């Protein structure tokens, strides 16, 4: 009886599906709680910097003098004070839908290719071997296989979720011009589909995919290179190793798998900025017109426009130095000037 209750404990799902469902629900809950940060980053990526600058040192207490934009938490506080704290949860329905669709698509795609296309990226070999038991060639084949499979899964997932990501970006972008064109996720999907067709629903998809693939392959290849180098240093060309060295190697490998994605993500971040900017292109919102932004024929145009100073918008929570133009507001305070620049 207890065993039967255990199987029916979570919507009658199989153990693997139950694990996935619980993990997805936890991610959705965390995403909802952290949505103010996501809304803030989206506004910043769109170039919305309406709050006064401060002055300080580039290294906190050392370095040169510089102007600084509000950090994320100060930005959220000022946004909540001036526009109402409910603004920080703008587009929550679209954000949850995007994450849910992306998670489900990723899970189902992995199951599908594991069952029907097990040899994508190469045959599964040496599955029972640890990394330190593989030759360089065997390890590289494993990296290539995992990279190809992760790429397929990620491309399918972000493509499936893109319409909802576009809805979220546009709902948030309305904050800039005090607009109400897109009210809910369902209504936004209908409006975009009717006015712009599939091109509008998938606007900004190309740079997002490029950024995702750059991160995936960067993480796989850099991790592989560091791991193989460490194994050579630790064990040389022999297979003789004691338990202490083996444990130390595993600890180092765990650190690498944590640190490398963090570093590589910074190289993919500019594509995220371009993707967000392109998500609102053609929307008819104020942010898609001058003086906020010129019109773009494709994402390469957006990249060229943002390249001087815009590709790093929102990549830092703190010490956000204003490197562009500065203007004096009516209150005699200094503000970032992100108006159209040639």
| Domains of the chain, each with CATH number or no CATH | 23-336 (1.50.40.10)
Going by the DSSP 8-state scheme, the letter that residue 95 receives in this structure is H
What local confidence, expressed as pLDDT, does residue 19 receive? 92
Average pLDDT over residues 3-12: 55
- Is 231 exposed, middle or buried (CB count within 10 Å of its CB: 0-12, 13-18, 19+)? buried
Average pLDDT over residues 170-184: 97
Say if CB 100 and CB 92 are below 8 A apart. Answer: no
What local confidence, expressed as pLDDT, does residue 342 receive? 45
Q: What is the pLDDT of residues 277-326, one digit of tens each?
A: 999 999 999 999 988 889 998 999 999 999 998 999 999 999 999 998 89
What angle in degrees, to the nearest 10, is found between the helix axes of 35-45 and 243-280?
Answer: 60
Q: What is the pLDDT of residues 116-166, one digit of tens each?
A: 999 999 998 888 888 778 888 999 999 999 999 999 999 999 999 999 999
What local confidence, expressed as pLDDT, does residue 247 receive? 64
Alpha-carbon torsion angle 78, 84, 86, 89, nearest 10: -30
User: Per-residue pLDDT for 250 more than 80?
Assistant: no
Q: Is the dihedral of CA 264, 160, 317, 322 positive or negative?
A: positive
User: Per-residue pLDDT for 84 more than 70?
Assistant: yes
Share of residues in the chain with pLDDT > 70 (%)? 91
What local confidence, expressed as pLDDT, does residue 128 receive? 84
**Using CA atoms, how far apart are residues 299 and 301, in angstroms rounded to an integer?**
5
The angle formed by the CA atoms of residues 96, 101 and 102, to the nearest 5 degrees, is 100
**Using CA atoms, how far apart are residues 100 and 148, in angstroms rounded to an integer?**
23
Tokens of 90: 């703008």
Q: Model pTM?
A: 0.90
Average pLDDT over residues 234-246: 56
Going by the DSSP 8-state scheme, the letter that residue 331 receives in this structure is T
What local confidence, expressed as pLDDT, does residue 62 receive? 82
**Pairing label, strands 65-69, 334-336:** unpaired
């Amino acid at each position: 009886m207890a065993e039967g209750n255990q199987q029916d404990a979570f919507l009658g799902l199989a153990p693997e599906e139950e694990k996935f469902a619980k993990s997805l629900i936890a991610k959705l809950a965390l995403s909802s709680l952290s949505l103010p940060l996501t809304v803030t980053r989206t506004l910043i990526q769109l170039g919305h910097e309406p709050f006064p600058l401060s002055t300080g040192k580039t290294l906190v207490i050392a370095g040169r003098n510089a102007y600084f934009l509000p950090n994320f938490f100060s930005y959220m506080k000022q946004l909540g004070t001036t526009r109402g704290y409910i603004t920080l949860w703008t587009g929550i329905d679209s954000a949850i839908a995007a994450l849910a669709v992306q998670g489900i698509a990723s899970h189902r795609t992995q199951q599908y290719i594991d069952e029907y296309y097990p040899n994508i990226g190469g045959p599964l070999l040496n599955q029972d071997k640890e990394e330190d038991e593989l030759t360089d060639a065997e390890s590289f084949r494993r990296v290539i296989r995992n990279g190809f499979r992760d790429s397929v899964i990620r491309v399918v997932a972000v493509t499936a979720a893109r319409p909802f990501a576009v809805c979220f970006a546009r709902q948030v972008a309305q904050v800039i011009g005090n607009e109400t064109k897109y009210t809910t996720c369902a209504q936004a999907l209908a409006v975009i589909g009717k006015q712009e067709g599939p091109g509008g629903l998938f606007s900004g998809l190309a740079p997002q995919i490029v950024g995702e693939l750059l991160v995936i392959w960067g993480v796989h290849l850099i991790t592989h290179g560091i791991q193989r180098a460490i194994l050579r240093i630790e064990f040389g060309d022999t297979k003789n190793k004691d338990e202490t060295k083996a444990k130390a190697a595993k600890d180092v490998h765990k650190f690498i798998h944590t640190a490398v994605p963090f570093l590589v993500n910074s190289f993919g971040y500019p594509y995220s900025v371009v993707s967000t900017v392109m998500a609102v292109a053609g929307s008819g919102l104020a942010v898609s017109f001058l003086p906020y932004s010129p019109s773009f024929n494709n994402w390469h145009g957006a990249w060229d426009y943002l390249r001087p100073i815009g590709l790093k918008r929102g990549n830092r929570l703190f010490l956000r130095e204003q490197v562009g133009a500065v203007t004096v507001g009516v209150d005699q305070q200094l503000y970032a000037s992100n108006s159209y620049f040639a």
